[in-house]
A and B are shown apart, each in its own frame.
Chain A
Amino acid sequence: MKTAVIVFPGSNCDRDMAVALEQVTGRAPAMVWHRDTALPDGIGMVAVPGGFSYGDYLRAGAMAARSPIMAAVAAAAGKGMPVLGVCNGFQVLTEAGLLPGALMRNGGLNFVCRDVALTVENAQSAFTGRYAAGERVSFPVAHHDGNFVADAETLDRIEGEGRVAFRYAEPVNGSARAIAGVLNDAGNVLGMMPHPERRIEPAHGGTDGRRLFEGLLETIGA
């Protein structure tokens, strides 16, 4: 499968994401600059990586969400292409309106950088098919603005529709209902603060993240 990683000024997990995608798909992803207006032909999946795009100016992800390439990403997502946003990528996808809610300053105000325990809430999605529902996994987090916020009605809806992919199994950042990763209504866009691309090989301290990419590859049959 051909994949693409979007690169913004200030992205800093784009290479981690590229290595993860190359290991799992067997080919290096296209690195797509934010000023581009189209995705390369034949792409089967888009990743929006972590980092501090535009220095988090205005709001985390706000500037990146309005950059030229995001119109192409939104169009691809609208046609069902899987889009994965991790950390700053999650913030970008909420700012772009591709995912509900917003990511605000961590409840404890501190930057949180450590491994956290997560519970897989939805093991049926395009991204989570290689996990078991209720399974406990460990991914690293590294963020200052990971506090997921949405109004009660939105939270009820996304929970009721099974759109919570991952939940924190321990206190991390004050996220509403401990939501760590959320899917769009069609299930083809996933945003999450924890970093699956940093748990790909045993040298990373675990391989829990690898199954997310493997599951996605399997789902889209590439």
Chain B
Amino acid sequence: MKLRIHVTLKPGVLDPQGKAIEHALAGLGFAGVNGARVGKLIELDVAEGTADADIDAMCRQLLANTVIENYRVEKA
């Protein structure tokens, strides 16, 4: 079973990388970019039937730092 784990910064957590990207896009002449935030996409290949609770535990224990990040699991 293929999973796509989207890890994103929580709202309110400052993202210097996103800010730099936003400024770089403006520097390239793209107007109207009102924000940029950088996250991660982690693709997992797990055994069929892996319990949602186990997938959630993988996210909480390692893949995301829930102090600063949210995560969303997408089953392909």
Contact = CB atoms under 8 A, between A and B. Distances in A.
Contact of A62 (B17, B20, B62): B62
Given A101-B67, A102-B67, A149-B68, A107 B61 contact: no
Contact-residue size bin, chain B (C-beta under 8 Å from the other chain) = 10 to 19
Interface in B15-61: 16-17, 20, 61
A151 B67 CA distance: 8
A58 B17 contact: no
Contacts of A62: 62, 65
Interface string A160-194: 00000000000000100000000000000000000
A106 B68 contact: no
A150 B17 CA distance: 18
A205 to B, nearest CB: 30
Interface residues of A, number: 20
B16 A109 contact: yes
Contacts of B17: 105, 109
A108 B16 CA distance: 7
A204 interface: no
Most chain A CB neighbours (cut-off 10 Å) among B12, B14, B16, B17: B16
A62 B58 CA distance: 13
B18 to A, nearest CB: 10
Interface string A103-114: 011111100000
Nearest to B67: A102
Contact of A109 (B12, B20, B62, B67): B20
Nearest to A104: B68
B67 A150 contact: yes
Given A105-B16, A107-B16, A66 B67 contact: no
A157 B71 CA distance: 26
A66 B16 contact: no
A150 B65 CA distance: 12
Given A101-B67, A102-B67, A104-B68, A149 B13 contact: yes
Contact of A149 (B14, B20, B62, B63): B14
Interface of A: 58-59, 62, 66, 94-95, 100-102, 104-109, 147, 149-151, 174
Given A58-B63, A101-B67, A104-B68, 12 more contacts: A58-B62, A62-B65, A102-B65, A104-B13, A104-B14, A106-B16, A107-B14, A147-B16, A149-B14, A150-B67, A174-B14, A174-B16
